[in-house]
Amino acid sequence: MRLVRWTPDDLVRRLDDVVAVYGEAMNYRADLLEARRGYIATHVRRPGFRAVASLTSEGHLAGFGYGYLGTPGQWWHDQVHRALTAGARQRWLADCFEVVELHVRPPAQGHRLGTRQLTALLRMAPGSTTLLSTPEADEQRSRAWRLYRRFGFVDVLRHFHFPGDERPFGILGRDLPLT
């Protein structure tokens, strides 16, 4: 398995694979995935965009991650902004790299690909803080939650609901740079 940095063009070129990995990892319905395709394609043009991919020796996509600098007017940023206090907004959103997606195909999970992807992504991330959202889960049993806690992510918001999604999410953050 090799980890590579992706340009915006690399991600768009492999968009079908990216959406497939995303769907497998999140267990989302096909209709929701079609909507995500459009969002992902527009994210590559955001300021501070960074992406990584885990590729098998045959070039198949086993996992990926990407993010960008959050700014007012972006849907996720604005949802979180509204839920935070003024002090928390200044602390977390003033110069924030948002980890938008970080996924590994289920058969490839448990081999530290997520760790390698998150390390690489955060090492090249601009900004002084980073935030991400993840579905609420048992922190001891969830691989994602254990990964984020190992990286020093702390609770920013818990049991947060995004419009259109019935699941609660945790909003987690940490300072940058990654040391």
In 3-state terms the chain splits into helix, strand, coil percentages (rounded to 5) of 40, 30, 30
- Whether 148 is catalytic is yes
- The residue to which tokens 């994210």 are assigned: 43
Q: Phi, psi (5° rounding) for residue 78?
A: -65, -35
Spell 50-80 as b/e; 16+ CB within 10 A means b: bbbbbbeeeeebbbbbbbbbbeeebebbebb
Among candidate residues 22, 66, 68, 148, the one labeled active-site is 148
Annotated catalytic residues are 148
